C-alpha cells in the first residue's frame, strides 16, 4: 500500500473515454493443460481451485531476499515481473502487453513505461549573490551552528572598502533544490533582484496576501517559515495527517491558498528561495549523505544515492499541479547571511522567523543586490513495466466488456539506515506480495477453468501494477494510456495487503492501525463508489466464503465508526492510497480488499513466515468469485450519484488531461527483461 498520496462534477457519473477497438492484446499462446490439478467441485467458476499450496510457493518467491524488496526500478522487480509472466505463459493466458519488437515469449506480458532519473551536476549548479561589499562587522550569524560556518564566505565578512562583491555558493553545502509535488525537476538559469515575502503563502480565507503592495515582477522572492496550520501538521509528524494524504489544512491550493511558488508565478516573479529550517540546516553538516545536501533533494551526480538507486520520474505523466509554479531552492546558512547582509532584517532575525514559523513583514532587498541561480542536470533513462494478461470471455457480446483484477508487484526495496548485520531488505510479503500472490492464484484458477471449458461471459484482465509505492504509477499509466476501452470496464477489484490477521499473541503499539481478525476482510470503496457493487459483493460472500465484511475504511470522511483512528481528525484516507483510486478517477466502480495495517508495514519485518495463508485463500476465493459474478451478470454496477468532492475533482482533472484514450502498448524498452 502506498504510504502517502498526493492528491468531477456532481453530474459526472461516468467518464466516457474515446474508444477505437475493444482490445490491443497480443495473440494467445497455446494452452498448456498437462499440469492441470484436480480440485474441489466448481463454485463461482473455478474459484475453488485456489489453494494454500500455490499461495505459499508464489509468496515465498516474491518476498524472498533475492528479490531485494522489489523496488521499482530494480533487478529484483524485473525478476518478479519475469516470474509472474512465466506462470501466465505456462497457464496459457493471453498476453496484454507489448505487441511489437518483443524478444521471447515473456515480453508480450509486459506493459512498459519510460522512466527518467534527473541527477544534479554540482559543478554546473551555482548560486551567487552580488551586492554592496561589507564595510566591516563581526561576521555572519551562525557560528557554531550545526552545518554552519560562522562568518560564512560572503555572509557579512570582515572589513571591505565599498563597491560590489559577488560570492558563489556550493550546491549541497550552501543550498539545495527538490522537485515539488507533481512537478518535474528541470534545469534553470535565473537572475534578478530580491524581495522578502514573509512565509510567501497567500491564504484567502484570512485575507493574507504578502504580495499586496510588493513589486515582485521579474524578481526572486525569498521566504521563511510556514503558516501556523501547516507548521502544526508538520509538528504532529505528518504520517497519516491531512497534508501527508494529499489534503492541506489551508484548503484547496490555487483556490483557498497559494504556495510561495504558485503565488510568485501568479505575480510575475522568477523563482523562490526558501530559508532553511533547523532540520535542513542540521542535515547540511552531511552534504555527502545519500540523496545529497539536505537529505531530501534529488540525486547528485557522483555521490552515493542509497541502496535503491537514484530517484526516477515517469516521462509521460502530466503535471498534477493545479496552477503554474516557479522554480525554488532552499538556502543554507552562508547563503542566508549573504542575502540579508545590510538589509532591514538580518539573517539572525530571518532564521528565527523560519524556525518559529513567525510571519515577518515583507520588504524589498537592496536594489544593488542580485542573485543568480543556475541548476545543471543530467538525465538518464530507465524502464518499468506492468504485467498484464487476459482471459477472453465466451459471450459474443459481453466479451467486449472487462472485469479487472489488480494488485501491485513492487515494494520499497532495501533500507539504508539499519545496524550492521541487521536484516535490511523490505521483503514486502504482505505489501503487496500477498495481493500479487492472490492475483496469481486467481489467474491460475481462471486458466485451469478455461482449459476445462469454464469461461466467463466477459473478458477478465489480470493486472500487476508497478510503482504503486512511488505514487500509484502503474495504475495511473494503465488508466491514462489504456490498451483497452475503459468505458467497457465493469469494475476494478484491487487486492493490497491481505496476508496478516490478529493472531492470539498479536500486539501493535500504533493505535492508528486497523488489522482484521481471521475470517474478516476490510472493504474499501464500494459504499463510496457503487452501491450496486456492494450488493454484488454481499450476495457472493453470503453464498460462498461468508467472510465478515468490515467497512471501517469504506468512507472518505471520518465519523464515529469509520476511519477515525488516524493521528488527525481527518483520518488516514485509505480510499485514496492504493491502485483502485486511479480506476475510480476514470469513472470505474471499484473495491479494494485489504486486511489492514500492522507493525511490520513498510519495514524489514514484513516476511512470508508471518502470513496467514488460510486468510489469503478465503479472501482470494471471495475476490475471484466476485469477479466471476460481475463477468456473468446481465447488467453492470453503476457509480453512485453523490461521489466525494475530492474524487469528483480528480475525475474532472483526468478528463481534462485526456486520460483513457486507447494507446498502443510500447515496444520493450532498453534493459527490459525477457
Predicted local confidence at residue 198, as pLDDT: 96
| Mean pLDDT of the 45-65 span | 97
Give the H or E element holding residue 651: helix 645-656
Per-residue pLDDT at 340 exceeds 80: yes
* pLDDT tens track for 285-336: 665 544 444 444 567 887 778 899 999 999 999 877 789 999 999 999 999 9
Instruction: Name the burial class of residue 507, with classes exposed (0-12), middle (13-18) and buried (19+) by CB atoms within 10 angstroms of its CB.
Output: exposed
CA distance 454 to 628: 11
Per-residue pLDDT at 12 exceeds 70: no
* pLDDT tens track for 77-135: 999 999 999 999 999 999 999 999 999 999 999 999 999 999 999 999 999 999 998 66
Predicted local confidence at residue 653, as pLDDT: 92
Provide CB contacts within 8 A for 341, sequence distance 6+. 131, 134, 140, 155, 156, 157, 347
CA distance 170 to 149: 13
Predicted local confidence at residue 305, as pLDDT: 81
Q: Among positive and negative, which fits the CA dihedral 141, 143, 147, 151? A: positive
Predicted local confidence at residue 9, as pLDDT: 32
Number of other CB atoms surrounding residue 379 within 10 Å: 12
Predicted local confidence at residue 570, as pLDDT: 67
Predicted local confidence at residue 37, as pLDDT: 39
Per-residue pLDDT at 502 exceeds 80: yes
Instruction: Name the burial class of residue 619, with classes exposed (0-12), middle (13-18) and buried (19+) by CB atoms within 10 angstroms of its CB.
Output: buried
Predicted local confidence at residue 327, as pLDDT: 95
**Cell (9 digits) for 534:** 456492494
**Cell (9 digits) for 122:** 554540482
Highest mean pLDDT, choosing among 21-25, 101-105, 178-182, 303-307: 101-105
DSSP codes, 517-573? PTTEEEEESHHHH-HHHHHHHHHHHHTTT-PEEE-TT--SS-BTTBS--SSSTT---
| Beta partners for residue 164, in sequence order | 132
Please, which pLDDT band fits residue 357 given cuts at 50, 70 and 90? confident
Predicted local confidence at residue 295, as pLDDT: 41
Per-residue pLDDT at 586 exceeds 80: yes
Predicted local confidence at residue 137, as pLDDT: 45
| Mean pLDDT of the 415-425 span | 90
* pLDDT tens track for 423-447: 999 999 999 999 999 999 999 999 9
What is the model's pTM?
Answer: 0.86
Please, which pLDDT band fits residue 239 given cuts at 50, 70 and 90? very low
Domain boundaries 55-116+381-656, corresponding CATH code = 3.40.630.10
List phi, psi (to 5°) of 638. -100, 150
CA distance 293 to 295: 6
Predicted local confidence at residue 6, as pLDDT: 37
Q: Among positive and negative, which fits the CA dihedral 59, 63, 65, 68? A: positive
List the chain domain ranges: 55-116+381-656, 122-375
Q: Which of 210-224, 234-248, 352-366 has the lowest mean pLDDT?
A: 234-248
Per-residue pLDDT at 596 exceeds 70: yes
**What b/e readout covers 289-307, taking b as 16+ CB neighbours within 10 angstroms?**
bbbbbbbebbbbbebebbb
Q: Which of 331-340, 345-354, 467-476 has the lowest mean pLDDT?
A: 345-354
| Mean pLDDT of the 34-57 span | 74
Predicted local confidence at residue 135, as pLDDT: 62
CA distance 598 to 212: 49
**Cell (9 digits) for 336:** 542566508
Per-residue pLDDT at 142 exceeds 70: no
Residue 630: HSE in the Cβ half-sphere, 13 Å Cα cutoff: 33
pLDDT: which is higher, 247 or 482: 482
* pLDDT tens track for 610-635: 999 999 999 999 999 999 999 999 99
Per-residue pLDDT at 359 exceeds 80: yes
Kindly state the percentage of the chain with pLDDT values over 90: 72
Per-residue pLDDT at 151 exceeds 50: no
Per-residue pLDDT at 568 exceeds 80: no
* pLDDT tens track for 452-471: 999 999 999 999 999 999 99
Per-residue pLDDT at 155 exceeds 50: no
| Mean pLDDT of the 505-512 span | 90
> Whose CA is closest to 585, among 505, 489, 670?
489
pLDDT: which is higher, 209 or 29: 209
Mean of all residue pLDDT scores within the chain: 87
| Mean pLDDT of the 407-421 span | 93
Predicted local confidence at residue 571, as pLDDT: 81
Per-residue pLDDT at 507 exceeds 60: yes
Per-residue pLDDT at 14 exceeds 80: no
Q: Which of 149-158, 241-250, 263-272, 589-598 has the lowest mean pLDDT?
A: 149-158
Task: Output the 3-class SS for 10-68.
Answer: CCCCCCCCCCCCCECCCCCCCCCCCCCCCCCCCECCEHHHCCHHHHHHHHHHHCCHHHH
Amino acid at each position: 500500500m502506498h504510504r502517502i498520496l498526493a492528491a468531477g462534477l456532481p453530474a459526472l457519473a461516468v467518464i466516457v473515454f474515446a474508444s477505437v477497438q475493444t482490445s490491443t492484446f497480443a495473440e494467445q499462446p497455446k494452452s498448456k493443460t498437462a499440469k492441470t490439478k484436480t480440485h474441489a467441485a466448481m463454485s463461482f467458476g473455478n474459484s475453488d481451485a485456489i489453494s494454500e499450496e500455490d499461495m505459499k510457493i508464489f509468496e515465498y518467491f516474491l518476498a524472498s531476499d533475492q528479490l531485494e524488496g522489489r523496488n521499482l526500478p530494480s533487478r529484483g522487480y524485473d525478476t518478479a515481473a519475469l516470474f509472474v509472466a512465466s506462470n501466465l505463459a505456462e497457464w496459457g493466458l493471453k498476453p496484454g502487453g507489448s505487441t511489437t519488437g518483443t524478444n521471447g515469449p515473456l515480453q508480450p506480458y509486459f506493459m512498459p513505461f519510460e522512466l527518467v532519473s534527473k541527477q544534479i551536476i554540482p559543478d554546473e549548479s551555482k548560486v551567487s549573490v552580488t551586492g554592496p561589499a561589507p564595510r566591516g562587522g563581526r561576521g555572519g550569524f551562525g557560528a557554531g551552528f550545526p552545518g554552519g560556518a560562522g562568518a560564512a564566505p560572503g555572509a557579512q565578512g570582515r572589513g571591505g572598502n565599498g563597491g560590489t562583491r559577488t560570492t558563489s555558493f556550493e550546491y549541497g553545502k550552501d543550498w539545495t533544490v527538490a522537485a515539488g509535488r507533481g512537478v518535474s525537476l528541470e534545469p534553470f538559469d535565473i537572475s534578478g533582484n530580491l524581495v522578502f515575502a514573509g512565509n510567501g503563502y497567500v491564504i484567502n480565507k484570512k485575507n493574507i496576501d504578502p504580495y499586496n503592495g510588493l513589486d515582485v515582477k521579474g524578481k526572486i522572492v525569498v521566504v521563511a517559515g510556514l503558516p501556523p496550520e501547516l507548521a502544526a501538521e508538520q509538528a504532529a509528524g505528518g504520517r497519516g495527517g491531512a497534508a501527508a494524504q494529499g489534503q492541506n489544512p489551508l484548503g484547496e491550493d490555487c483556490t483557498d491558498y497559494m504556495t510561495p511558488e504558485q503565488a510568485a508565478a501568479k505575480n510575475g516573479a522568477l523563482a523562490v528561495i526558501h530559508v532553511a529550517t533547523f532540520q535542513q540546516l542540521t542535515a547540511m553538516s552531511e552534504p555527502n549523505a545519500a540523496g545529497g545536501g539536505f537529505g531530501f533533494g534529488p540525486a547528485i551526480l557522483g555521490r552515493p544515492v542509497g541502496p535503491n538507486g537514484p530517484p526516477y520520474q515517469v516521462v509521460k505523466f502530466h503535471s498534477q499541479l493545479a496552477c503554474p509554479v516557479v522554480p525554488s531552492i532552499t538556502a543554507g546558512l552562508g547563503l542566508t547571511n549573504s542575502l540579508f547582509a545590510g538589509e532591514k532584517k538580518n539573517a539572525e532575525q530571518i532564521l528565527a522567523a523560519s524556525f518559529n514559523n513567525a510571519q515577518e513583514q515583507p520588504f524589498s532587498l537592496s536594489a544593488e543586490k542580485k542573485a543568480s541561480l543556475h541548476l545543471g542536470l543530467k538525465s538518464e533513462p530507465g524502464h518499468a513495466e506492468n504485467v498484464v494478461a487476459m482471459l477472453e470471455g465466451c459471450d459474443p457480446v459481453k466479451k467486449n466488456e472487462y472485469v479487472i483484477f489488480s494488485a501491485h508487484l513492487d515494494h520499497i526495496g532495501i533500507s539504508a539506515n539499519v545496524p550492521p548485520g541487521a536484516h535490511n531488505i523490505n521483503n514486502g510479503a504482505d505489501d503487496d506480495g500477498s495481493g500479487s500472490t492472490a492475483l496469481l492464484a486467481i489467474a491460475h484458477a481462471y486458466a485451469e477453468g478455461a482449459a476445462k471449458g469454464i469461461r466467463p461471459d466477459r473478458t477478465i484482465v489480470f493486472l500487476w501494477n508497478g510503482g504503486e509505492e512511488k505514487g500509484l504509477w502503474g495504475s495511473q499509466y494503465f488508466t491514462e494510456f489504456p490498451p483497452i476501452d475503459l468505458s467497457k470496464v465493469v469494475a476494478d477489484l484491487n487486492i493490497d495487503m491481505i496476508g496478516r490477521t490478529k493472531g492470539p499473541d498479536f500486539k501493535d503499539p500504533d493505535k492508528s492501525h486497523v488489522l482484521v481478525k481471521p475470517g474478516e476482510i476490510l472493504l474499501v470503496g464500494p459504499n463510496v463508489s457503487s452501491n450496486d457493487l456492494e450488493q454484488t459483493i454481499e450476495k457472493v460472500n453470503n453464498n460462498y466464503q461468508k467472510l465478515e465484511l468490515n467497512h471501517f475504511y469504506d468512507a472518505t470522511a471520518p465519523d464515529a465508526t469509520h476511519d477515525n483512528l488516524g493521528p488527525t481528525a481527518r483520518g488516514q484516507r485509505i480510499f485514496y492510497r492504493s491502485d483502485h483510486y486511479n480506476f475510480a478517477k476514470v469513472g470505474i466502480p471499484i473495491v479494494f480488499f485489504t486486511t489492514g495495517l500492522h507493525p511490520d508495514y513498510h519495514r524489514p519485518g514484513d516476511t512470508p513466515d508471518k502470513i496467514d495463508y488460510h486468510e489469503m485463500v478465503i479472501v482470494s476465493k471471495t475476490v475471484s468469485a466476485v469477479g466471476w459474478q460481475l463477468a456473468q451478470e446481465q447488467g453492470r454496477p453503476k457509480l453512485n450519484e453523490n461521489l466525494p468532492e475530492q474524487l469528483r475533482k480528480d475525475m474532472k482533472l483526468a478528463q481534462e488531461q485526456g486520460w483513457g484514450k486507447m494507446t498502443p502498448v510500447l515496444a520493450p524498452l532498453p534493459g527490459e527483461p525477457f
